[in-house]
Chain A
Amino acid sequence: MPDNHPISPKAPSLLSPVQDHHCRVIAQRNCGPNLWVITLESTSGRFACRAGQFVMLDLPERRFFFRRPFSVLKVSGEHRFEILYKVVGQGTEMMKGFQIGQSLNVLGPLGKPFPKMPDAEAGKYLLLLGGGIGIAPLACWLAENQELAETQEKKQETTAANHLTPLCVFGARNASELSIRPELEAYLDLTQRVFATDDGSYTGPDGFSGRIDQWLLKQPEYAKNAAAAYICGPMPMMRACVLALKQLNPLLSVFVSLENHMPCGTGVCSGCAVFSSDSLPIKVCVEGPVLNAERIDWENADGRQDIQIRCTLSESATPDAYTSPLEISNAESQEGFSCQR
């Protein structure tokens, strides 16, 4: 585990104050089938967010009782940030209709971020594996660390410790859902990116036909030479990737970002808790969402084998949010609803 990672098993149980940012909708754009990016600006202060952290977005209508958790896609300046979301239920349907200038409350940033660039001693690559809209916090991580690298270059402080090559493998069901591919290409050269589609519909030179875990097994040298892997996506995708990585490189340090239902998002209600490998509850919202994969009981993390696939949604109380059994058997699905946190 990288030394600078803030997650410690001995983390204090004390809860800390959170800020409710009063935000304005600055922009909203469609970026694929049912995929949207909303840009928000805080009018109540600096929005200091790190990649992997999330916000609880308040849908200003009385029929809703939970805020919707989303990880942050991009931070611009001190007050602006973007969220990538997929319309899967009543809440995200409403979000799609938000008008420019509309105001809403956003609690956050919340939770533990992805670690910074790990030390290079353990390998050559840092694998960033994102499924569906689970690419959001990883794209955020790339941008954050790009800036960091540039600052360090300016200061001429680049050290061997920062010479890992990030290698991104981002997956979706099909090419049209590889929503923010063009933006990612700005950070990554051809050797640093793979876009995997379940149906093989993306055929670029950086394309792969199949799932991310299949890519890992097909190109084992990357996992074997990796120093760490950061994963975000639907639970089945993360589970499959963790299993593949453990098989290829048992000592690899792997961090996943979980995406459970979060009624409060602040550690109060325990509604999002999953079980650790030693059967202790982990409050995903405050101990995570980014967790060392080793801590998680992958067999029982989401409690129920029969509905495990579905549980990646924050909105599954609404029927249209469910993944059908067909999609489940198909896919370890790059359902793209990932990280609807």
Chain B
Amino acid sequence: MSTLEKTATVNKAADLSCDIGGGIVLKSPILNASGAFHPAVISQMLSIGDVFGALVTKTVTPQPRAGNPQYRAVELPGIGMLNSIGLQNAGLENILEKEVPQWLGFGNTPLILSLSAETPEAFAKMAKTIEAHALGQQIMAYELNLSCPNVAKGGLDFGSSPSLISDIIKTLRSTSAKPLYAKLTPNVQSVLPMAEAAIKAGVTGLVAINTVLGLAIDTRQKKAILPRVSGGYSGPGIRPIALHHVWQLHKAFPDTPIIGVGGIETADDILQFLMAGASAVQVGTSCFRTPDIFQTLHQDLLAYCCQENLQALSQLRGIAH
């Protein structure tokens, strides 16, 4: 047997599956981050069904949103990017009719719908609408976008209020039986009270972290580049921040599944998140330049398991603590 064949055999045996709570075991810990990726675009470049544990849609709101004026995105060479898209989306009804069928069209890859709304009741109403729809059953879970730093609102940001987080999750819990994942903002003094509120209210798992508030100034114009001044910072520059939060969350709530997200570019980055306590990860910014990065990450994880003679990748969860 050649080395190559041997590797292939061992690879096949390596178990990348991960338990993200709610009775869900994904066959791979690799997910996409909301808003940066669409499977249809890269469907010829890789086999979606083999690589992804689940797919996450861009954030859906009850009504269509036109989004923010230009600029909406700024590249920050070396460290990442800022975005201020403003949750542009076609609204729940349109997305259920037109977009969800396309998202569901990739083998049996589970679909997580990312939701955002302005009140707990509006969140619950969205869940009702979805579950009354013919495709509702095929949606595996909801990710709750509890913070979008670039959507201006008069009131308090959901993501920074434990009681609001608690209200949203309790209201949703009483409406829907689907697993709920709360995506936490790092733009708070501590994520722990937010996580605690979410867990007590019955959340299935946590997604950490959303983008970090950031700013870039055009020195010639002497003005902020983004019209809303600050935007969401993502990319490798936030990876240490994300890892810090995942570590803190896992330490405080070891039984709660965490999906780590922030600046992942390589399989080693994924391993760091798993070792910090994440069960799965999401990849966002890197897929702009490298849409098929998921394939590489998947292969490299398999190769790592093989090298380390690791039977199940999930054995690494929180191992660095």
- What is A's interface to B at a CB cutoff of 8 Å? 12-20, 58, 62-67, 90, 107, 260-261, 263-264, 266-275, 279-281, 300-304, 306-307, 310-311, 315-319, 322, 324-325
Contacts and interface: CB of A to CB of B under 8 A. Distances in A.
B43 interface: yes
Contacts of B58: 268
A166 to B, nearest CB: 32
A275 B66 contact: yes
Nearest to B70: A303
B218 A271 contact: no
A316 B70 CA distance: 12
Contacts of B42: 17-18
Contact of B43 (A17, A263, A268, A273): A17
Contacts of B143: none
B215 interface: no
Given A64-B77, A304-B69, A317-B76, A324 B220 contact: yes
A270 B64 CA distance: 14
Interface stretch (B80-88, B169-177, B246-254): B80-88
A124 to B, nearest CB: 37
A18 B81 contact: no
Contacts of A274: 70
Contacts of B220: 319, 322, 324-325
A318 B195 CA distance: 38
Contacts of B288: 65-67, 263-264, 269
Contacts of A19: 44-45
Contacts of A306: 221, 223
Contacts of B41: 15-18, 264, 266-268
Interface in B62-100: 66-78, 80-81, 83, 85, 88, 90, 94, 98-99
Contacts of B68: 303
A45 to B, nearest CB: 11
Using C-beta atoms within 8 Å of the partner chain, give the interface range for chain B. Answer: 35 or more
A317 B98 contact: no
Contacts of A275: 66, 69
Cβ-closest 4 pairs across A and B? A303-B69, A303-B70, A271-B73, A63-B78
Contact of B221 (A260, A267, A322): A322
Interface stretch (B15-23, B30-38, B274-282, B309-317): B30-38
A317 B102 contact: no
Contacts of A325: 220-221
Give the one of A66, A300, A324, A325 with max B CB within 10 A.
Answer: A66
Nearest to B285: A65
A264 B58 CA distance: 14
Nearest to A304: B227
A260 B70 contact: yes
A281 B98 contact: no
Interface in B218-242: 218-221, 223, 225, 227, 235
A13 B75 contact: no
Q: Is the interface of A mostly helix, strand, loop or mixed?
A: loop
23 contacts: A12-B98, A13-B90, A13-B94, A15-B40, A58-B289, A65-B76, A107-B291, A263-B73, A263-B75, A266-B41, A268-B41, A269-B36, A270-B67, A271-B73, A273-B72, A274-B70, A280-B66, A281-B66, A300-B69, A303-B68, A303-B69, A307-B223, A311-B71
Contacts of B80: 65
Given A14-B102, A269-B35, A303 B71 contact: yes
B222 to A, nearest CB: 10
Contact of A316 (B225, B286, B291): B225
B168 to A, nearest CB: 25
Interface in B273-302: 285-286, 288-292
Nearest to B97: A13
Given A20-B45, A268-B38, A279-B66, 10 more contacts: A13-B99, A18-B291, A19-B44, A65-B285, A66-B288, A267-B38, A269-B83, A271-B85, A307-B218, A307-B225
Contact of B67 (A62, A66, A67, A281): A281
Interface string B41-57: 11111000000000000
B70 A261 contact: yes
A274 B71 CA distance: 9
A215 to B, nearest CB: 28
B216 A317 contact: yes
B239 to A, nearest CB: 13
Given A66-B289, A266-B38, A281-B66, A310 B43 contact: no
A332 B127 CA distance: 50
A261 B8 CA distance: 42
B66 A63 contact: no
A303 B218 contact: no
Nearest to A13: B98
A270 B70 contact: no
A271 B83 contact: yes
B69 A317 contact: no
A65 B81 contact: yes
Nearest to B37: A268
B72 A261 contact: yes
Given A324-B220, A325-B221, A64 B72 contact: no
A88 B73 CA distance: 18
B219 A319 contact: yes
Interface string B199-211: 0000000000000
Nearest to A300: B69
A273 B88 contact: yes
Contacts of A273: 67, 70, 72, 88
